[in-house]
Amino acid sequence: MKSKNIVIVGFMLFMPTAITAQEHIQKAFDALRSSKNQEEVNAKHSLEKDPDTGMMEGLEDTYEFLITDSKAKHLVDDIRKAFEQDERHAYNVSSGTLGNSENYVSLKVGDSNQGGVALGLMNGSRWIYACFLDPDDTLRQHRYAYALEWVEENHKIKGKIIKTYATTQKFRKSKAMQSRIITIDGNSFSFGPNFPFDSDSKSSETWLTEFNTFKNLFRRRPNGTAANSYATQIYKLCKDAESLDDVEKTMVSAEIAKLKNKTSDEFIQQLFDMSIERLKK
């Protein structure tokens, strides 16, 4: 099992990443948090990256607030309107009322089906959340989720705003299937249950088939927008190549060296160099 780099830092919230599709929500979140007419109750920030590629794999930003000034209620209304403005870009939008400890939603973080950030735990609260695909993930496996929960009583508003990054529910379910078909760059491929990289029981034949798929995709468009993703997939395969014998590893290394010569992108070239080094272990 690969190790993770997990960073937890308080008071670092809502970094301006991938805000194209959810720009209004992000701006409304920032406006509430920076307003002097609200009080910060609690804040949490956690970030998880792949230690080798530096690519983000999980994110949680939770900010709890209290509004006591009736003139500041518009901050919450602005967020609700922002969800409406960005709704057409979301692939999943949901809302609810009368939150309680038995009726809540869990917004996942990272690639785990366990746990998550609870939404709807506050008694009598209203809540809304929306999910947006990560525009930088060409495989369409990761998403950003934004959420607002609030309850108004005694002329006060208590609530929280949430942002998480995780694999999509569809992707997590697909990993549990015995076999599945995925579409990459407009092409469909069939893989076994351990795809993409849970390869403890992967045979050398399966490994080589998957490598050949990503190799061919990269060769077709070595300078395309998806090239970085294909190179990363190849690197992740090479991190777990125990099923290959020495002859097969030598053959794969030679193929990766050819791929390296087809690109001038230094990051991709480094990924290929690391891939070859992994095959030597």
pLDDT digits (tens, 9 = 90+) for 12-60: 344 444 446 789 999 999 999 999 999 999 999 999 988 877 888 899 9
Q: From 250, 236, 259, 252, select the one nearest 2 (Cα to Cα).
A: 236
The pTM of the whole model exceeds 0.75: no
pLDDT at 63 over 80: yes
pLDDT digits (tens, 9 = 90+) for 226-271: 888 889 989 999 998 888 888 889 999 999 999 999 999 999 999 9
pLDDT digits (tens, 9 = 90+) for 64-121: 999 998 889 999 999 999 999 999 999 999 998 877 767 788 899 998 766 789 998 8
Higher per-residue confidence, 25 vs 7: 25
Higher per-residue confidence, 194 vs 50: 50
pLDDT of residue 70: 85
Convert 174-185 to b/e letters by CB count within 10 Å (16 or more is b).
bbeeeeeebebe
List phi, psi (to 5°) of 147: -145, 150
Give the pLDDT band (50/70/90) at residue 8: very low
Question: What are the residues facing 95 on neighbouring strands?
Answer: 128
Q: If you write DSSP's letter for every residue of 4-61 in order, what string do you get?
A: -EEEE-TT------S-STTHHHHHHHHHHHH-TTSEEEEEEEEEEE-TTT--EEEEEE
Higher per-residue confidence, 22 vs 202: 22
CA dihedral over 113, 233, 202, 5, signed as positive or negative: negative
Give the pLDDT band (50/70/90) at residue 195: very low
Share of the chain above pLDDT 90, in %: 46
Q: What radius of gyration, in Å, describes the C-alpha atoms of the chain?
A: 22
